[in-house]
Structure 1
Amino acid sequence: MSWLPTDEPQPGDRKSCEALELVVVPRAHDIGNMEVRRALPYAKRRMVGPFIFLDQMGPADMAPGSGMDVRPHPHIGLATVTYLFDGAIMHRDSLGNVEEILPGAMNLMTAGRGIAHSERSPDLQRRNGQRVYGIQSWVALPKAHEETAPSFQHFAADGLPIVEDGNIRARVIAGSAFGAKSHVTTLSDWFYVDVSLGAGATAPLDPDYEERAIYICEGEIEVAGDRFEAPRLLVLRPGDRITIKAVRDARMMFLGGAALEGPRYIWWNFVSSSQERIEQAKEDWKQGRFDKVVGETDFIPLPDK
């Protein structure tokens, strides 16, 4: 999606549990017919592994005749991950891909040296109305792959491994967790897992990845004796095996991976290790040098600031 990130510290962003480095209270933004809650980037924590952007979309009830309309916009230096709990989004991009994203599917668009895309409500859902609820995240690319050719991967929900054990259910979207491995190809070492716990159930988060976090979408959990309600991003200390207990039925995203080799600049929809590269991307979009999105005639102009 197309956002203008902000990262003001919020009241309540504190931690007491020694297993945690930081607790982030997402910032709420109204973007018209939907509220989004932004956890990354953040003033005190720009990334977790390669994750540089994390937004919760909704839940939002869209009336019949209305819908989501994110017009064509560009990206460089990152991969977008769109993951839905409810609703449907139609993805179109400048490679010619047209794909309806449904709950539980993995939609990974690697921008590399440059791609443009749009995200809109499909015709059926626009006509009948729908509830939209999900997570939009960006994964910054390693320097060696920042200028890679753009690409697109889509895995339906039944193409991703599911781990179930009593009151635990996990879908491994990317990377490895709970003894299962996703077939999604990534350009660096990262993981992303949709985890649901029934009240009283516990789940481990092993130190298999250098940096890890838990985004609480719903419910309430306990970590090392401290309780945290949704929505919160819990950034964990490296190297510790963590056990999460659901105080109430809870749904979370486990995420993280290897830290990148250096900081990243972020401006509008552009991510890069080079400020000069971002300036070039700004000019390229302004001058219409990005490939067009198939089936689209409109676009989002370059912001003034």
Structure 2
Amino acid sequence: MPQTLAPPDSAPAPAGPVAGRSPVPGAAPDPQLRELAARHGLEISGARPPLPEYTRRLWSRRHFIGSFATARLTALYTTARLGQLWQVMTPLFNAGVYYLIFGVLLHTNRGIANFIPFLCTGIFIFTFTQSTVLAGTRAVSGSLGLVRALHFPRACLPIAYTLIQLQQLVFSMGVLAAIVLICGVPLTWHWLLMVPVLLLQSVFNTGLAMIMARIGARTTDTAQLMPFILRTWMYISGVFYNLSVFTQSAPQAIAVALNANPALIYIDLMRYALIDTVHAKSLPPHVWPLALGWAVLSGVVGYVFFWKAEEEYGRG
């Protein structure tokens, strides 16, 4: 007689847990499966690698970072009729507005030689930091499609957005140099100091961008709050006036805090590089060590802070 098959629901239950499945939800994976995956070089998808390995992967994506930044910068002005001329015109319009308000109406130019180069330098350098922070805040939250579709070190995004702002600043620095020369300021060897100043500020800005990228990815309302914080930071950074006039009569603790302001540090160093009437004695105390310290602190803290949440970006 033909053998009768037992119905599916009468099949005996497996003696142990099904391979690849934990008997208790949320429990640790099967050790045998973990060993099997390690033997074949498999790893958890999207897991955060150790910091040295993460850095190696990030370096291998350096060409992607450059291409991404260039493409974003090109697309930024494609809908405007004047195109990339706005990279030059925007800082010029800002300088004109601020000169009208602070130079003509509020007379903050009193006692400041070469006020127009002084003002334009402050605006251009602070705008670099301001724009980088705003772009970094939206670096991850504004690129969720890319984050969820492709696997790459997420730090590529805030670094690329910092590079975009640096490219824009390079265009602006050409305009700034022309303004300085037109105003009668001579070309000196101090102009070479622009290179280390921009390098240190770029590292500082990159760290800030990574800090804000992680915060902005978790709390999207941060992007709405940052313009108010940055505007306050701008007013205490000596962009429109000589801050040393106020720190001389301020209490010691306040004077030290204002002079250690990183935005003020990089602005004053760039003014020292470009304007011959800005002398070393007018700079904040220990200005170069402070510039280096802020760059290293921001870069290292920002990088580690961002890496710590690598597994969280694009989820939820």
TM-score interval (norm. to shorter): under 0.3
TM-score normalised by the chain length of structure 2:
0.24
Query: Which protein has the bigger strand share?
Result: 1
The answer to which structure, 1 or 2, has the higher relative contact order (CA under 8 A, 6+ apart) is 2
